[in-house]
Amino acid sequence: MLDRHANDINTFGLSKMNIMTLVKECLSCNIFKWAGKYFSQVRGLAMGQRLAPVLAVCFMGRIEEPVLERHPLMYCRYIDDCFIVTSTQFEMDECFRLMNEQSQYIKLTREIPHNGWLPYLNTQVKVSSGVVSVKWYRKAT
């Protein structure tokens, strides 16, 4: 990704090797406390880790490529939450399958619409007869 976007990223004079070394060091110090004990997270990103959102965006950028090549009717993503609209259920299933094939460590889940409304972030979205309706949504606690 650094190579692909080299002209768009200000590395503040750091080489690609320096950046990779710094990222690896940050990720190797993934220590968290649970139930009074300390653990080292071996794979993935810890919630609250400062690099987590940036690395999630980078990772999802790679995972979403095969879906974007299919030109869905609509594709939106915020960090790792995707919203995809296709013209058929088969195409939707195919997009879901493609995204889940990209990594053995990440498996995406799907939300099921309720009365035609699909939750996405803090909204609910409904597509009916080509018209998109949006309303506020608050997840039940």
What pTM was estimated for this model as a whole? 0.75
Half-sphere exposure in the Cβ direction for 46 (13 Å, CA): 16
Measure the CA–CA gap between 8 and 79, rounded to whole angstroms: 19
**Chain centre distance of CA 31:** 23
Which ranges of the chain does DSSP label H, i.e. alpha helix?
A: 16-28, 52-63, 65-68, 89-100
Q: Which of 30, 120, 35 lies closest to 76, judged by CA? A: 120
Measure the CA–CA gap between 28 and 55, rounded to whole angstroms: 14
Percent of the chain at pLDDT > 90 equals 47
pLDDT in tens, 59-91: 999 999 999 999 999 999 999 899 998 989 999
Does the pLDDT at position 101 exceed 90? Answer: yes
**Sign (positive or negative) of CA dihedral 135, 108, 48, 17:** negative
